[in-house]
Amino acid sequence: MKYNKTNHIKLALGVLAVVGATFNLTSCMDKKKDNPFFSEYTTPHETAPFDEIKMEHYEPAFLEGIKQHQAEVDAIINNREEPTFENTIVALDFAGDMLDRVSTVFFNLNSAETSDEMQALAQKLSPVLTEHSNNVSLNEKLFARVKAVYENTDKKTLTTEQQRLLQKTYDSFARNGANLSEADKAKYRELTTELSKTTLAFSQNMLKATNSYALNVTDAARLKGMPESALEAAAQTAQEKGQEGWTFTLHAPSYSPLMMYCEDRDLRRELYMAYNTQNVQDNEYNNEENVKKIANLRLAIAQLLGYNSHADYVLENRMAENAANVNQLLDQLLTAYLPAAKEEVKAVQEMAARTEGKNFELMPWDWSFYSEKLRNEKYSLNDEMVRPYFKLENVTKGVFGLATRLYGITFEENKDIPVFHPDVKAYDVCDKDGSYLAVIYTDFFPRAGKRSGAWMTNYKEQYVKDAVDSRPHVSITMNFTKPTESKPALLTQDEVETFLHEFGHALHGIFAATNYPSMGGTNVYRDFVELPSQIMENFLPKKEFLATFAFHYETGELIPDELIERIVRAQNYNAAYLCIRQLSFGLLDMAWYSRTTPFEGDVLAYEQEAWAPTQLLPVVAETNMTTRFGHIMSGGYSAGYYSYKWSEMLDADAFSLFDKLGIYNQAVANSFRKNILEKGSSEHPKVLYRRFRGQDATIDAMMKRDGIIKE
């Protein structure tokens, strides 16, 4: 999956924590001296001083952050003045600054640059963090003040953003147990602590399983068909591991080329099975019990709060609003796309049969290989043809340059900003008038301490305090093809698309123009947050955009028009199959979280039943998605994976304006910035979208773009 938003820690949500560990508070209160978290940052733009932060700094900083946050909460509670929007709601939203600072660094690096020591510390700290979270969200006196403001304030005296913040704050308490009885509050604490423990165990198993596997090949004949770039990367990996020959891992830049190009079917099957059984094998990384516990704990929490299911709880605060609307979208798309998807699979099957014989059965480990062959046959196009034109440095200039063309903003690397790994770069972002807008970090390559996938996150939110607009620090993290000894990093078309996707999230953060920390940027409904990211993907096949950066890394030649035409003709290749694949994940997600009774069955069998309507290839009984489906199990997409298709409906409809009026149309770009990117959650997303587009979105534009509806 292309995106996994990692928000900084908002403790009122109560979703941290992991394995219970003894925690000696007195042992950690060491000297504050030389701990960078205990003083204001003196770095450019007050960015995180990664070069000064050491492992021993985190624990005392977390404890002090908790102490300070509790003191700020106590000050709100003990205020003798009548509860008001300013002295209660605003004060609470700005509380916990130090805890936010250490949390953002620690938990972001726990995804991007972790270690055994950091993971052990996460296990030790998280019960304390969960307890503190619950101490805030279940504090009766604090909730009494919030409730007093909510019930007694004349909403007409508040701005729309303030009304939204008030509602959001009240809901965060009510949805996290504030209205429960004392006995049920105790139960809530128990359930949330166990959920936090289990979700972190799930994600740690995923990372360890991925990093524990390597496929070493010493016979060059078995790698027939593999492109030179992939072989060179595999040889480099082997060398790094002290092995002979070529070594492949389960990270996307290593896994995907072998599945797509290797003619040795046995090798493809071996790697496919390793990838798709990562956390279901009979070893210490097995996640089956964790899956059951996560699903059942979320159900128990939802029902304790008065909801029938976890999906009912989640969807109350989404554009989709309820499970019926989600299922309606999934059913609409399944009906519209399934016939075309079956034809696409049939075409690939026929291609394979022409090569292997009429009795050949297309298996999942054959799909990438033969579908790529068919794409090449139909369009004379494959990744290796376009890769030389997608040198990472040029792509970066192109993606940044797109934002310059659309919005007038500029990017300049600032080498004075500390970074947490040599691969990471930091840039100053300035608005068209030259004023400072934000910092953006880029982190492109896989490594042992980084989880798979791609995501955007914040190290600092945007807000206005004391009439000063405090600007954000955002980061985009990917796992792209690495440079080798003889070649720079050359990206595939999918990797460029991923870059555009995460950069769209970054723009959402960069342009934030709200007043309160919890309201700006990507702090929006899950089924709205993908609109700014997915709309950026639409620019990739546009000739005007490719002409700005797609130069051959050796000759400097601009990508030929004829190759661009092939890219354009091929952009809908297997679009229906890919849609059905996404729908399969959405159906699986809803199956786990629409349940109203605890799950006691077999995880593998339940999965196969849940997504059976979408399965276009033979099912391999031993494989499983759920046990490594971090998005819905340990990420933020439980009962929310449909959001990708919901947002795709929005982005297709929204981009149709650029298609109609010009991809660099300043009026459209300015409207998108003002009405979508700057607003965060200061207004309801339906209102924002209608203001930009002038209408509600339907699936029509998406079906036209995908070639399902012929214009």
* CA nearest to 352, candidates 337, 336, 340, 368: 368
Residue with tokens 């699986």, as numbered in its chain: 588
Q: In the structure, how many helices (H) and strands (E) does the chain have?
A: 29, 9
Residue with tokens 């004075």, as numbered in its chain: 416
User: Rounded to whole angstroms, how far apart are CA atoms 245 and 242?
Assistant: 10
Contact 13, 48 (CB under 8 A): no
Which amino acid is it at 375?
R
* CA nearest to 559, candidates 390, 395, 404, 397: 390
Q: For every residue of 533-544, which 3-state class applies, written as one string?
A: HHHHHCCCCCHH
Contact 125, 62 (CB under 8 A): yes
Contacts by 357-364, CB closer than 8 A, 24 or more apart? 361/618, 362/617, 362/618, 363/269, 363/617, 363/618, 363/620, 364/272, 364/276, 364/617, 364/618, 364/620, 364/623
CB within 8 Å of 180: residues ≥ 6 apart: 138, 188, 304, 305
Contact 437, 473 (CB under 8 A): no
CA atoms 173, 174, 179, 180: torsion sign:
negative
* CA nearest to 104, candidates 47, 20, 38: 47
443 in helix, strand or coil?
Answer: strand
197 in helix, strand or coil?
Answer: helix
Contact 137, 172 (CB under 8 A): yes
Q: Which two tokens stand for residue 169?
A: 């704050």
Which member of 502, 607, 648, 678 is catalytic?
A: 502
Radius of gyration, alpha carbons of the chain: 25
- State how far the alpha carbon of 139 is from the alpha carbons of 17, 75, 103, 188, 611, in Å: 19, 13, 22, 13, 42
Give the Cβ contact number of residue 42 at 10 Å: 9
CB within 8 Å of 486: residues ≥ 6 apart: 232
Give the CB-side neighbour count of residue 324, counting CA atoms within 13 A: 0
Asked about 502 being catalytic, the answer comes back as yes
Contact 509, 460 (CB under 8 A): no
Which residues are designated catalytic?
A: 502
